[in-house]
């Protein structure tokens, strides 16, 4: 991106109807308009280019970005911390084992107590169906009530760093990678992407990555092929949403129980393991009742079920069936002969695309920073224009 393209991006942003994003959370991509999603990727690219030019985008002198991770994370955790730093916020992990949550402190109380100087709360809660998104909504309601009652000076923005339904920071990072790889957002129209289940020797991987991908790219006029063995479906309402999106965008949404069929003539492949929808439902119920024996039995049952589909691997043979496809993965991938004996992807395939997957991940700090920026700045184009002209901007009270 040269200087003219940077200025053009800011001008494009100024023409978008995105006022609703100010002081709003970012929880699900399907709750955002296409212009709002385009604004996120536009601002992400602008912030990325500004940093490459050594232009400071620190719009804060103080304030916190609080990270609540209820599941392990490398890329998203450090992307969130990096995004906070990029905008001038100090990042703080909330370790629930070191707080009064362990003594029964309510979500409403915790949300307010961590938010006196907090601008953004990033949450990952992805393992239990029916819980993660609901928890994020509860945190959002709590801080809005706190602000409305005069407890909090401003409303912290809640950013979904992966829930049980969606992983918006991942899917939008994937999209930005595709835009740069194929040249433009418009160039993706008509392209075929295979979102496929793949074998893993582990159990209980969340559904939110494949759900987030199909819900997003089906809005772009792409041909989406969703492949999984029988019994490994995603949340039905999200599969239905992808089908409706594809019909509205002029694309296509196809489901198959054949990985080879999905890969045929695909321009993009995304082989990723996930737990079956019905298994995740059972797992949630067992967790609610604290049935550890039942959980162990379910894990053994699922690992045995997975082994029936050990041949669902992104192999060299399958890649030859594609249209010179780009390989995507949210990482870490289960790599056959490297991280496990049999996994999602052959070692030679992964090694060929390894740096591509690193670049794919590299967009995430800027995507998260863009989500933050658009929620905290009432006129983002004007602020970015001032920054570009070398005039420092400091955001006060999220205005």
Which pLDDT belongs to residue 399?
39
Q: By C-alpha distance, which of 197, 193, 152, 167 is closest to 364?
A: 167
Which pLDDT belongs to residue 2?
78
Q: Is the peptide bond before 376 cis (omega within 30 degrees of 0)?
A: no
Domains annotated for the chain, with CATH where assigned, are 3-166+364-388 (3.40.50.1370), 168-361 (3.40.50.1370)
Which pLDDT belongs to residue 397?
53
* Burial of 77 from C-beta contacts in 10 A (0-12 / 13-18 / 19+): middle
How many other CB atoms are there within 10 angstroms of residue 364's CB atom?
26
Tell me the C-alpha to C-alpha distance, in Å, between residue 172 and each of 41, 197, 214: 7, 20, 12
pLDDT digits (tens, 9 = 90+) for 283-335: 888 888 889 999 889 989 999 999 999 999 999 999 999 999 999 999 999 99
pLDDT digits (tens, 9 = 90+) for 10-55: 999 999 999 999 999 999 999 999 999 999 999 999 999 999 999 9
Contacts of 288 (CB under 8 A, 6+ apart): none
Dist. CA 155–CA 164, nearest whole Å: 24
Contacts of 77 (CB under 8 A, 6+ apart): 67, 69, 124
Contacts of 253 (CB under 8 A, 6+ apart): 214, 218, 224, 226, 242, 243, 245, 246, 247
Quick check: 246 and 195 in contact, CB under 8 A? no
User: What is the 3 state secondary structure string of 34-85?
Assistant: HHHHHHHHHHHHHHHHHHHCCCCCCCCCCCEEEEEECCCCCHHHHHHHHHHH
pLDDT digits (tens, 9 = 90+) for 267-285: 999 999 999 999 899 988 8
Quick check: 267 and 322 in contact, CB under 8 A? yes
Dist. CA 260–CA 271, nearest whole Å: 11
pLDDT digits (tens, 9 = 90+) for 164-216: 999 999 999 999 999 999 999 999 999 999 999 999 999 879 999 999 999 99
pLDDT digits (tens, 9 = 90+) for 213-229: 999 999 999 999 999 99
Q: Which two tokens stand for residue 47?
A: 């912030």
* Burial of 320 from C-beta contacts in 10 A (0-12 / 13-18 / 19+): exposed
Distance of CA 389 to the CA centre of its chain: 32
The values of phi and psi at residue 325, to 5°, are -70, 150
Tell me the C-alpha to C-alpha distance, in Å, between residue 243 and each of 11, 213, 226, 276: 33, 13, 11, 19
């Amino acid at each position: 991106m040269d200087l003219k393209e940077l200025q053009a991006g800011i001008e494009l942003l100024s023409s978008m109807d995105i006022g609703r994003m100010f002081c709003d959370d970012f929880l699900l991509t399907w709750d955002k308009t296409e212009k709002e999603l385009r604004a996120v990727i536009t601002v992400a690219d602008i912030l990325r280019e500004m940093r490459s030019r050594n232009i400071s985008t620190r719009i804060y002198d103080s304030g916190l970005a609080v990270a609540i991770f209820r599941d392990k994370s490398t890329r998203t955790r450090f992307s969130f911390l990096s995004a906070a730093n990029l905008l001038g916020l100090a990042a703080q992990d909330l370790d629930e084992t070191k707080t009064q949550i362990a003594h029964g402190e309510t979500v409403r109380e915790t949300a307010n107590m961590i938010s006196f100087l907090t601008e953004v709360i990033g949450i990952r809660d992805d393992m239990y169906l029916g819980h993660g998104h609901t928890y994020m909504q509860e945190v959002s309601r709590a801080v809005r009530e706190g602000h409305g009652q005069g407890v909090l000076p401003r409303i912290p923005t809640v950013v979904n760093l992966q829930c049980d339904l969606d992983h918006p920071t991942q899917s939008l990072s994937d999209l930005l990678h595709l835009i740069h790889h194929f040249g433009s957002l418009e160039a993706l129209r008509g392209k075929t992407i295979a979102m496929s289940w793949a074998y893993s020797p582990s159990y209980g991987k969340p559904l939110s990555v494949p759900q987030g991908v199909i819900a997003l790219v089906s809005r772009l006029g792409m041909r989406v092929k969703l492949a999984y063995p029988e019994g490994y479906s995603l949340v039905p309402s999200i599969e239905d949403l992808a089908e409706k999106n594809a019909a509205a965008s002029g694309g296509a949404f196809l489901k198959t129980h054949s990985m080879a069929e999905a890969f045929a003539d695909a321009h993009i492949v995304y082989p990723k393991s996930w737990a079956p929808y019905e298994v995740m439902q059972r797992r949630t119920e067992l967790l609610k009742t604290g049935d550890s024996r039942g959980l162990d039995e379910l894990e053994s049952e699922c690992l045995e079920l997975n082994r029936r589909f050990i041949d669902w691997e992104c192999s060299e043979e399958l890649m030859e069936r594609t249209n010179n496809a780009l390989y995507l993965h949210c990482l870490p991938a289960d790599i056959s002969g490297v991280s496990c004996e049999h996994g999602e992807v052959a070692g030679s395939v992964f090694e060929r695309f390894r740096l591509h997957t690193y670049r794919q991940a590299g967009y995430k700090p800027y995507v998260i920073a863009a989500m933050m920026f658009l929620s905290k700045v009432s006129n983002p184009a004007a602020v970015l224009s001032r920054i570009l002209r070398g005039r420092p901007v400091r955001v006060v009270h999220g205005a």
